[in-house]
Amino acid sequence: MMSDAVEKAFAAIPGLISGGLTTITAGSPIHVQGFPSFVHKVCSLTSKYEEEQVVKRELTLVKQRLAQPNITQAQQADCLVRLLFAHVLGYDVSFGYISAVKLAQQGTLAYKRMGYLACTLFLHENHELVLLLINTIQKDINSSNIMDVCMALTATCSLVNTEMIPAILPFVQEKLKHQKEIIRKKAVLCLFKFHRMAPNSVQHIHHSFKEALCDKDPGVMWSALHIYHDLIKHSPSEYQDITQSLVSILQQVVSRKLPADYEYHHVPAPWLQIKLLQVLALLGKDQQKISRVIHPVLAEVLQRSESNQNITFGVVYECILTITSISPDTRLLEYAAKCTGKFLRSKANNLRYLGIKALTKVIQVAPQHALDHQMTVIECLEDPDHTIRAKTLELLYRMCNSVNVKVICDKLLEYMEKDTEKSIKGDIANASLRGEDSVLLFAVQTYWELLQRKDVPNKLIQIGAW
């Protein structure tokens, strides 16, 4: 199945690049089989040795073809497609790197696209050949052709290193005002890459980030949000002034004010909601005033997330994390604790695991909600999934208090007496050392010591410390 997928994917590349470019032109002194045939042949081989022989033979022919003085752009592009396939398989195709650079520099639109694609896959930002592309990238960013600009901005994200940023930055910044939203979006993503590589190099254009965040196109705004996520992560206090703007954006998203294209399984822009919730969690942490601004929109997110789609659970889970990260609100915590019930009752292991993690976060802030799902959590000890059982134990330690310690310890005893993995039994005793409740610590340690003594009658074990 995998070989079929690889074969189909690479066989489609030439058509996507130039609408049907698949073979070297007829009459050439060097015969090269059609690219689809080459891919099919490689994918049908049964041994690594056979693959090496076929690929190396093909690379020899491609190398000879690229060395010919009269090679056309179509032939260069066809050779590069073959080199890309060999490169993905792990073969050395460094002899063709310069051809990729030349095609990106001199090719017409379709072939330039092939050249840029090959350069971004073959080269890294510190490769010596990247210097040859800087002038080409600058020229294409200023081109009147939208495709040229898009290709140059995409290549910029992959190939420009820290030393090259000053030469490219003014051209990229200018594109933030381009009339086409796809250009503005790619420009913001370039700035995002620059910020991650060298934050000081873009420090003077933070006002451009704010303009992008307020862009009328959701895609541009979303791209700018990634920059702000990094900025706020390092210094949340400096960006508290944008909290209301982010809250307003999230309200528009959950109210379905965005185009239908941004919906996924009838959920409005779920990944944008998740990113906004993550940023708001950073802004509201230990900030009561900011948290009060955020609370209403969190309630709205939970109220509107009623479907049973997996992506809906993702939004709800992130919302619960945000509620437990910022200054607490009693009503929201109660709602969040209630929502974890949907996770815990799910038949899907992934959702039950998330439910246990979410409830763990909730009871750290509001321990009174531990009893709401106590029996459901205890039942998770019987789950066949080892990770769920281990996470359940951690949750039980956090849930335990002077009221329910006997119920929980009795269940732990019952569980330990079964034919269970030694690692889990050890977790039950050792993890209690991380707890703060002295009653739980005493109870679990006492039970564990009794169970380890073979001379202790079962009756005494049942009585335990009670």
Residue-wise pLDDT tens digits, 81-91:
999 999 999 99
Task: Return the SS3 of 219.
Answer: helix
Cα-based distances in Å from 231 to 210, 252, 256: 12, 23, 28
- The position carrying tokens 């520099």 is 105
- Residue 176 pLDDT > 80, yes or no? yes
CB under 8 Å to 345, separation ≥6 — which residues?
A: 376
Q: Which tokens in the block code for residue 172?
A: 């990229």
- Whether residue 317 contacts residue 354, with contact meaning beta carbons closer than 8 Å, is answered with yes
- Whether residue 192 contacts residue 156, with contact meaning beta carbons closer than 8 Å, is answered with no
Q: Give the model's pLDDT for residue 388.
A: 84
As a whole number of angstroms, the distance between CA 395 and CA 280 comes to 26
- Whether residue 133 contacts residue 159, with contact meaning beta carbons closer than 8 Å, is answered with yes
Average pLDDT of span 145-158: 94
CB under 8 Å to 454, separation ≥6 — which residues?
A: none
Phi, psi of 90 (to 5 degrees): 100, 15
- Residue 235 pLDDT > 60, yes or no? yes
Q: Give the model's pLDDT for residue 407.
A: 75
- Whether residue 97 contacts residue 117, with contact meaning beta carbons closer than 8 Å, is answered with no
Q: Give the model's pLDDT for residue 341.
A: 84
Q: What's the predicted TM-score (pTM) here? A: 0.77
Task: Return the SS3 of 263.
Answer: strand
More confident residue, 65 or 25: 65
Torsion of CA 280, 283, 286, 291, to 10 degrees: -50
Q: How confident is the model at residue 445 (pLDDT cuts 50, 70, 90)?
A: low
Q: How confident is the model at residue 423 (pLDDT cuts 50, 70, 90)?
A: low
As a whole number of angstroms, the distance between CA 424 and CA 379 comes to 16
Regarding beta strands 263-264 and 267-268, do their DSSP bridges make them parallel or antiparallel, or are they unpaired? antiparallel
